[in-house]
Amino acid sequence: MSWTGGSFGERAQCVLAPNANMMTLDGTNTWVLREPGARRSVVIDPGPPDESHLDAVAELAGDVGVVLLTHHHLDHSEAARQFAERVGCGVRALDPEYRLGSEGLGGGDVVEVDGLEIRVVSTPGHTADSLSFVLPAEGAVLTGDTVLGRGTTVVAHPDGQLGAYLDSLDRLHGLAAAHEIGTIWPGHGPVIDDALGALDYYIAHRSERLQQVESALAGLGPEGLTAEELPRRVVEIVYADVDQVLWGAAELSVRAQLAYLAQR
């Protein structure tokens, strides 16, 4: 199933950036949000510095009130400053290094632009600075890389932490269970119309992988491997079914899992 972006609900348009690869799935989703009839928009994750992509976003976005970042990874943030300067607004992000202007961003904040309300939810784990954005009027949540449109995400150890990630999934699951969110608008891949089902799957997948890592460790035994060799050996066992191109990313997740198990 190919994903090309498009319009969602009454307030969102997704422009797909042309940076598809093994890690970004179809490419980065740049989201343009606007209250119906309002002048100014909000742009989430301008994406990579590709002229044709930024032109398309600028055209849809018109007057932009603010640019928000879900997290600092370059496929989301690299063009943020350049785009914000072009349209004359600031960039708000949790990490001060990625901001333009004085305004920060964090869990519990409410961003309001011309009647559009965005509630910021702290969702660390994929990275330490990962945020999600709830649009109450749409019952939607923009999750960046915390939840993807297909497959599962990487806990980018050591910046990303599994304990924090599991807490973040629980936080989002709570919002879905309370019917505050029904649909997920991710940072990569297609929108998900069953937020609760997707979060159930993500939580089950994480605990399954954790059990697989524990039994791999038991199988490897206590001896013979250095701390450097161990994560790779675990990847070879636990991620045997996954394309080897992804083993580098899988190793980050395994390092996160080993750190989590060591703390438990």
Active site members: 75
Residue 45 sits in the site that holds Zn ion (CB under 5 A) = no
Q: Segment near Zn ion (CB under 5 A), from 51-59, 139-147, 160-168, 235-243? A: 139-147
Residue 129 sits in the site that holds Zn ion (CB under 5 A) = no
The pair of structure tokens assigned to 94 is: 């949790």
DSSP 119-171: EEEE--SSSTT-EEEEETTTTEEEEETSS-SSS-----TTTS-HHHHHHHHHH
Nearest one of 73, 135, 115, 121 to 98, comparing CA atoms: 73
How far is the C-alpha of 117 from the C-alpha of 233, rounded, in Å?
47
Nearest one of 128, 148, 139 to 256, comparing CA atoms: 128
For tokens 């038991």, the residue is 218
What count of Cα atoms within 13 Å lies in the side-chain half-sphere of residue 118? 33
Whichever of 129 and 145 has its CB closer to Zn ion, that residue is 145
Q: Segment near Zn ion (CB under 5 A), from 58-66, 92-100, 143-151, 248-256? A: 143-151
Q: Tell me how crowded residue 105 is: count the other CB atoms within 10 A of its CB.
A: 21
Residue 50 sits in the site that holds Zn ion (CB under 5 A) = no
Whichever of 26 and 75 has its CB closer to Zn ion, that residue is 75
Residue 75 sits in the site that holds Zn ion (CB under 5 A) = yes
Whichever of 74 and 240 has its CB closer to Zn ion, that residue is 74
**Window 180-239: residues binding Zn ion (CB under 5 A):** none
In the complex, the smallest distance separating the C-beta of residue 254 from Zn ion, rounded to whole angstroms, is 20
In the complex, the smallest distance separating the C-beta of residue 9 from Zn ion, rounded to whole angstroms, is 22
Residue 145 sits in the site that holds Zn ion (CB under 5 A) = yes
In the complex, the smallest distance separating the C-beta of residue 4 from Zn ion, rounded to whole angstroms, is 17
How far is the C-alpha of 163 from the C-alpha of 101, rounded, in Å?
32
How far is the C-alpha of 243 from the C-alpha of 203, rounded, in Å?
22
Q: Segment near Zn ion (CB under 5 A), from 68-76, 99-107, 127-135, 172-180? A: 68-76
Whichever of 35 and 145 has its CB closer to Zn ion, that residue is 145
The pair of structure tokens assigned to 261 is: 């198990």
Residue 138 sits in the site that holds Zn ion (CB under 5 A) = no
Whichever of 121 and 147 has its CB closer to Zn ion, that residue is 147
Residues that bind Zn ion (rule: CB under 5 A) add up to a total of 2
Q: Segment near Zn ion (CB under 5 A), from 71-79, 135-143, 216-224, 237-245? A: 71-79
Q: What is the longest distance spanned by two Cα atoms in the chain? A: 66
Q: Kindly list the residues in this chain that would bind Zn ion in the complex (CB under 5 A).
A: 75, 145
